[in-house]
């Protein structure tokens, strides 16, 4: 039996089939009272208490027998509208929206009622209890800042809003031999072509799935990347070997609009599908490193640097806004490190 919630004037009436666990849960709600005559629990009606009821009975079916007008939902809709009007990509909108919903579920207050301490408490919860990365928490801060400043029009909270120091992590890089093992492990021509393009052109997974047939310029040996990260168009290199794979792929699949069409009509392949393809390929190639498909892009940049390509050209091919982003590959390149002789070899 589900937990049923009714509204009677300024009271929430909570009824459910008796269980010791449910009684323990409802006792977590402040100012609750047991009405023995009507056999219901009474809680003062408020947005915070509606959220608290949802929180304590999380995982159970809760049925509200009245129309709930949640101001938070209107604020969240305005938040989405703001991001879309500012031209944020769908991926960024989805990520920021997820952060706001997680924060809203954590807080027992309405979004309009939050204070600086509520945000700090949430950020500490993410860092200490959930042990999430500083990058994740910084992303949460960015989403909350937009909501507070642009949607709620409040400036008092942001003045002292903490932002965790960003962790400096080096990218995972596959050796050239490991890359070839991965590529050779594939027998499906479509999957093979996708991974050839990701590595040979340094594409993001979101970019390779959105390629259109017209984006492959075989005359100039270039690939046009439309609206990559930061909503920027750019060109990157088209490998001769990748072009051969594309031509073999065309003979088998004859794509029309999208180079890699999805299962549904007029859609492209999903990122999740490509990620699964890469994971299976790594398994077949017996790759022991913990890597993702994005690490093919890191490997592309590192291998170019090791072969003497100027860092400025690599920056352009990758579509990095700042040269500092590209400079990280100097720390994982074996180009200069391999020249240093270990003191052990001198002994």
Sheet order of strands, 40-44 included: 33-35, 40-44, 11-15, 3-8, 62-64
* Catalytic-role residue among 229, 279, 284, 335: 229
**pLDDT per residue over 233-287, tens digit each?**
899 999 999 999 999 999 999 999 999 999 888 899 999 999 999 999 999 999 9
The 8 Å CB, 24+ separation contacts for 239-245 are 239/196, 239/200, 239/201, 241/196, 241/200, 242/193, 242/196, 242/197, 242/200, 242/201, 243/216, 243/218, 245/189, 245/192, 245/193, 245/196, 245/197
What total number of domains does the chain contain? Answer: 3
* Catalytic-role residue among 96, 199, 249, 329: 329
Q: For the chain, list residues with pLDDT below 70.
A: 1, 47, 66-70, 108, 159-160, 167, 230, 332, 334-342, 344-347
Reduced DSSP (H G I as helix, E B as strand, rest coil) percent helix, strand, coil of the chain, to 5: 50, 10, 35
**Residue 344 in domain:** no
**At which of 26, 52, 69 does a domain end?**
69
* Catalytic-role residue among 204, 268, 298, 303: 204
Q: Is 204 a catalytic residue?
A: yes
pLDDT at 169 (0 to 100) = 72
pLDDT at 230 (0 to 100) = 66
Report phi then psi at 229, rounded to 5.
Answer: -60, 135
Q: Is 240 a catalytic residue?
A: no
* Catalytic-role residue among 25, 192, 268, 297: 297
pLDDT at 165 (0 to 100) = 76
pLDDT at 64 (0 to 100) = 78
Q: Is 27 a catalytic residue?
A: no
83 and 197 assigned to the same domain: no
191 and 147 assigned to the same domain: no
Q: What CATH number is attached to the domain comprising 123?
A: 1.10.150.130
23 and 114 assigned to the same domain: no
**pLDDT per residue over 13-56, tens digit each?**
999 999 999 999 999 998 999 999 999 999 988 767 887 888 88
Show Cβ contacts of residue 137 under 8 Å, excluding neighbours closer than 6 positions. Answer: 123, 126, 127, 164
238 and 326 assigned to the same domain: yes
pLDDT at 167 (0 to 100) = 67
Q: Is 212 a catalytic residue?
A: no
* Catalytic-role residue among 109, 181, 294, 335: 294
Q: State which residues form the domain around 125.
A: 72-160
């Amino acid at each position: 039996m589900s937990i049923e919630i009714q509204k009677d004037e300024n009271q929430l009436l909570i009824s459910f089939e008796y269980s010791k666990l449910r009684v323990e849960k409802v006792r977590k709600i402040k100012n609750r009272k047991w009405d023995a005559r009507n056999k219901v629990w009474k809680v003062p009606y408020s947005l915070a208490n509606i959220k608290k009821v949802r929180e304590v009975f999380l995982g159970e079916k809760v049925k509200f027998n009245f129309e709930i007008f949640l101001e938070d939902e209107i604020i969240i809709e305005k938040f989405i509208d703001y991001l879309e009007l500012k031209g944020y990509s769908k991926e960024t909108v989805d990520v920021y929206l997820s952060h706001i919903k997680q924060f809203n579920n954590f807080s027992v207050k309405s979004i309009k009622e939050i204070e600086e301490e509520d945000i700090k408490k949430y950020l500490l919860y993410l860092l200490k209890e959930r042990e999430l990365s500083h990058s994740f928490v910084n992303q949460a801060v960015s989403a909350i800042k937009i909501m507070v400043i642009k949607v709620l029009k409040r400036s008092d909270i942001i003045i002292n809003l903490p932002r965790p120091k960003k962790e400096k992590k080096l990218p995972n890089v596959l050796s050239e031999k490991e890359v070839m093992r991965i590529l050779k492990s594939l027998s499906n021509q479509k999957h093979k072509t996708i991974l050839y393009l990701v590595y040979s052109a340094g594409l993001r997974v979101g970019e390779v799935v959105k390629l259109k047939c017209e984006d492959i310029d075989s005359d100039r040996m270039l690939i046009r990347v439309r609206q990559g990260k930061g909503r920027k168009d750019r060109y990157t290199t088209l490998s001769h070997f990748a072009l051969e794979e594309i031509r073999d792929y065309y003979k088998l699949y004859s794509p029309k609009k999208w180079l890699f069409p999805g299962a549904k009509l007029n859609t492209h392949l999903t990122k999740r599908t490509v990620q699964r393809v890469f994971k299976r390929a790594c398994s077949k190639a017996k790759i022991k490193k913990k890597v993702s498909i994005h690490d093919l892009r890191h490997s592309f940049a590192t291998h170019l640097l090791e072969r003497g390509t100027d860092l400025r050209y690599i920056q352009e091919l990758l579509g990095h806004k700042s040269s500092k982003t590209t400079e990280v590959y100097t720390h994982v390149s074996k180009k200069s490190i391999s020249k240093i002789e270990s003191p052990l070899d001198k002994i």
